[in-house]
Structure 1
């Protein structure tokens, strides 16, 4: 008797994820939609990641180990192993709400012209505690123009994609890590329509040691992505290029302020602030601009311990403005 192929393939790349991989895997296996396979691509982990996974018993879980090659190649390896008609990706430290796959699949099935379904994002800390809302942007239909200026989906753990569409646009570009997900969503948006599930179903974990905290590398790669994207974009959207750069530097300010205190981050934040104004000052609201200047100044002046205390006080009293800063990205 031939086994029934799963409808959805979930691909989880992991490298040294011993502290979070169990919770991440459980957020997939406990989904309300059950006709799935979970493909874990171990990217040469040196910790106890594989031992943790070995203690999880579920026939839908498949594990493949390789030498370390990075997240883009790991996702591409997972695509080759996937048998589902739909594919979704989940990073090894992020989580989904239990109805994520079911909701996104229903959205695609009820919107046959769309090839990508995505949900809203909320941010959590290392302990899984809520930090702040994501952008919560809703796009139903053509997402290309907005995706040119910002990563609407915010991370690599978000969409459910029709497999054939994913194959048509090609794999993840390893030269664009840590922005390889934005590049992929942009290439999909250039050819296919999107549909939104207007609910925060992706819980993106912010970790001080994650690749996304390397703001200088992110600046270089995202600037390269913007240049490449607008080189192949039609003349009718070239006016958006400065807006894209302005939003990028606005985002990099936030990443600098959330990273561990260092003179490098404070100097980078000052430069990012200048570039935001140079490219597109309209992203600012004066009140948020003033508070951002204060935070950059304290990052430069305070010791790491005092800066961490300052951040805690800032979050307590200015949480609303912090959410507004994120919403404007």
Structure 2
């Protein structure tokens, strides 16, 4: 087998319900010159057995004790051979032309280090929700990465390995282990790396047209995770303060406000109106100008919080499913 141009990295941990669909979306790509590195992160269900059921010479399965998403991605990247690294979480899926379009983009634009696309939202059963991630595509600065994370999710980007290498480092407790994602993060590991690439290493981000990733929303302990998600996001900002102090000083408050508004929408989608209202108030206190710069989105968040308070729970849940999805943008 010739050295693949693209290495697809797929961490797998207790996703037996979805992993087959994710693998099929890779094997169905119109672009064929890839390897799929599946990293078994020490789960306990039938996920790995499902992975082994696919007979394709481009698939490699790497086994490890549980390290979390960041650690599984690092293991996969370290085992990769490709010029480009494509990330796909094992509960998401891709449009059939995704890799082809990103390869065309990166091959034609040598100065672009990270190529990404928009994403559709799907529910646990694979049905499309009425919301999507339609990010800014051009003119991306470190401030855009910090404030709005146009990459959107971990299944959207394709990165140059050469750019990743600029941000690589030795694991603090295992010096022989090469890392790109910070394994001390169990949430916000994506945005931590994107900020570090853009602000710390001058990497250029650019998007391409189309909703090329299906980003799956699966229920769980999201309510308990909202405070933890904000805490880990703040950790990422604190880390960035060490290498990009001017960026954080200028844009940190607005970035925190947008993050809080995003989390307010998450709380709304759970029907937790008091928590959503509290988060939105914190966002407005940090960055009151968002009522002028983005009045529609801010008003929509406030109205949704009010609806969560006033509507019967079943009626509100139906509204969320039909109109909001469960991962609206910030």
TM-score of the superposed pair, with normalisation by structure 1: 0.87
Q: Which residue is equivalent to 2:198?
A: 189
Match of 1:229 among 240, 260, 263: 240
* Number of the residue aligned with 1:174: 183
Q: Could you tell me whether the CA contact under 8 Å between 1:72 and 1:173 is conserved in 2?
A: yes
Q: In the alignment, does 2:223 pair up with 1:208?
A: no
Q: Is the aligned partner of 1:9 residue 2:7?
A: yes
- In 2: Cα distance, 1:127 partner to 1:257 partner: 22
Q: How does 1:25-104 map to 2 (within 5 A)?
A: 25-104=23-102
Match of 1:288 among 278, 297, 300: 300
3-state SS in 1 of match to 2:120? strand
Give SS of 1:293's match.
helix
Alignment correspondent of 1:253 = 264
Q: Does 1:219 align with 2:241?
A: no
Shift of 1:234: 4.7
CA distance 1:59–1:48, change in 2 (3 Å): same
Map Cα deviations across residues 1-28 of structure 1 (whole Å, 9 max, x no partner): xx41111000000110100000001111
Contact conserved, 1:226 with 1:244, CA < 8 A, in 2?
A: no
Task: Give 3-state SS (helix, strand or coil) of 2:213's partner.
Answer: strand
C-alpha change, 1:245 and 1:296, in structure 2 (3 Å) is: farther
Could you tell me which residue of structure 2 aligns to residue 312 of structure 1? Answer: 318
Counterpart in the other structure of 2:252 = 241
Q: In 2, Cα distance between the equivalents of 1:44 and 1:137?
A: 34
CA contact (8 A) 1:226 1:245 kept: no
TM-score by length of 2: 0.87
Aligned mates of 1:33, 1:229 — CA distance in 2: 36
RMSD (Å) for aligned C-alpha atoms: 2.3
Instruction: Classify 1:30/1:312 alpha carbon distance in 2 versus 1 (closer, same or farther; 3 Å).
Output: same
Number of residue pairs matched? Answer: 311
Cα pair 1:141 1:193 within 8 Å, conserved? no
Task: Say which is worse superposed, 212-221 or 6-15, in terms of deviation.
Answer: 212-221
Cα distance in structure 2, aligned partners of 1:278 and 1:34 = 50
Take 1:293 and 1:274, find their aligned partners in 2: how far apart are those partners? 11
Counterpart contact for 1:12–1:75, Cα < 8 Å: yes
8 Å CA contact 2:257, 2:286 repeated in 1: yes
Q: 1:25 to 1:15 in 2, by over 3 A?
A: same
Report if aligned partners of 1:36, 1:60 keep a CA contact under 8 Å in 2: yes
Q: Cα distance 1:16–1:308, how it changes in 2: closer, same or farther (>3 A)?
A: farther
Distance between the aligned counterparts of 2:290 and 2:29, measured in 1? 38
Name 2:177's counterpart in structure 1: none
Deviates more, 1:231-240 or 1:147-156: 231-240
Q: 2:119 aligns with which of 118, 121, 126?
A: 121
Structure 1 portions without partners, runs of 5+: none
Render the CA deviation track for 1:162-215: whole Å, top value 9, x for unaligned: 111112112101222210011111222221112211111011100012779721
Any idea what SS the aligned residue of 1:176 has? Answer: coil
